[in-house]
A and B are shown apart, each in its own frame.
Chain A
Amino acid sequence: AQTVTQSQPEMSVQEAETVTLSCTYDTSENNYYLFWYKQPPSRQMILVIRQEAYKQQNATENRFSVNFQKAAKSFSLKISDSQLGDTAMYFCAFRTNAGKSTFGDGTTLTVKP
């Protein structure tokens, strides 16, 4: 069974600054996928970024990037130039090749003006 740990229940950052959200996981599988999802207040959960475990290159989507360390089983999310709209709960998720997902407990991020 997989486990996903997000050790930061809450974080805050000033607008325009950079913040990093931590995520570690445990698995015995070699092929898998990692995701970060964003759940804004009272809005639908949406995908932020994904990473294939077999790819060494870290994924990047505009202001969002990951630091994927496969050996350390670490998958942190960096948000650059934080915006007020980034305020949300962020979930790290592990997904097997068969499509079974395990979510972390979430990190509530507040971007302050």
Chain B
Amino acid sequence: EADIYQTPRYLVIGTGKKITLECSQTMGHDKMYWYQQDPGMELHLIHYSYGVNSTEKGDLSSESTVSRIRTEHFPLTLESARPSHTSQYLCASSETGGYNEQFFGPGTRLTVL
């Protein structure tokens, strides 16, 4: 399996709470990504980063924010969770260049009550 980790794997939390989803990779990849995926559905890119101090919004608008202070770490934060944020969040990383595939983490399944 790929060296990309996400914690927590499952999170159930109440409305209005601040949460941070962690993502780390040990492969030295410059590029990292966050996708939102409802069970059995398509992936939606919500954030990506091409390197330290670089972050961009993805194709799907999201109320979450990200930071990239270290190459290996790309956390996602929701300041005030809502039931509409309930979903699975997948983190991925890749080397630079189109030939290189993305390596995916195991995902965090978030439920907001």
Interface residues in chain A, defined as those with a beta carbon under 8 Å from any beta carbon in chain B: 31-33, 35, 37, 43-47, 50, 52, 89, 91, 93, 95-99, 101, 103-106, 108
Tell me the dominant secondary structure on chain B's binding face.
loop
Task: Knowing A44-B105, A44-B106, say if A99 contacts B43 (CB, 8 Å).
Answer: no
Chain B residues closer than 8 Å to A99, beta-carbon distance: 31, 50, 94, 96-98, 100
* Chain B, interface residues (CB within 8 Å), range: 20 to 34
Task: Knowing A44-B2, A95-B98, say if A105 contacts B104 (CB, 8 Å).
Answer: no
Closest to B102 in A: A101
User: CA A35 – CA B92 in complex, angstroms?
Assistant: 15
B79 within 8 Å of A by Cβ? no
Closest to B101 in A: A47
Question: Can you offer 28 A-B residue contacts whose CB atoms are under 8 A?
Answer: A37-B102, A37-B104, A44-B1, A44-B104, A44-B106, A44-B107, A45-B92, A45-B104, A46-B104, A47-B101, A50-B101, A52-B99, A89-B40, A95-B98, A97-B98, A98-B98, A99-B31, A99-B50, A99-B94, A99-B97, A99-B98, A99-B100, A103-B42, A103-B43, A104-B42, A106-B40, A106-B41, A108-B40
Since A44-B106, A99-B31, A99-B50 are in contact, a sample of 14 more A-B pairs with Cβ atoms closer than 8 Å, ordered by chain A residue number, is A31-B98, A37-B101, A43-B106, A47-B101, A91-B42, A91-B43, A93-B102, A95-B98, A98-B98, A99-B94, A99-B96, A105-B41, A106-B43, A108-B40
Closest to B31 in A: A99
Task: Assess whether B42 is in contact with A33, with CB atoms less than 8 Å apart.
Answer: no
Chain B residues closer than 8 Å to A105, beta-carbon distance: 41-42
Task: Assess whether B99 is in contact with A50, with CB atoms less than 8 Å apart.
Answer: yes
B90 within 8 Å of A by Cβ? yes
Min CB gap A37→B, angstroms: 8
User: CA A93 – CA B45 in complex, angstroms?
Assistant: 13
Min CB gap A64→B, angstroms: 14
Task: Assess whether B90 is in contact with A33, with CB atoms less than 8 Å apart.
Answer: no
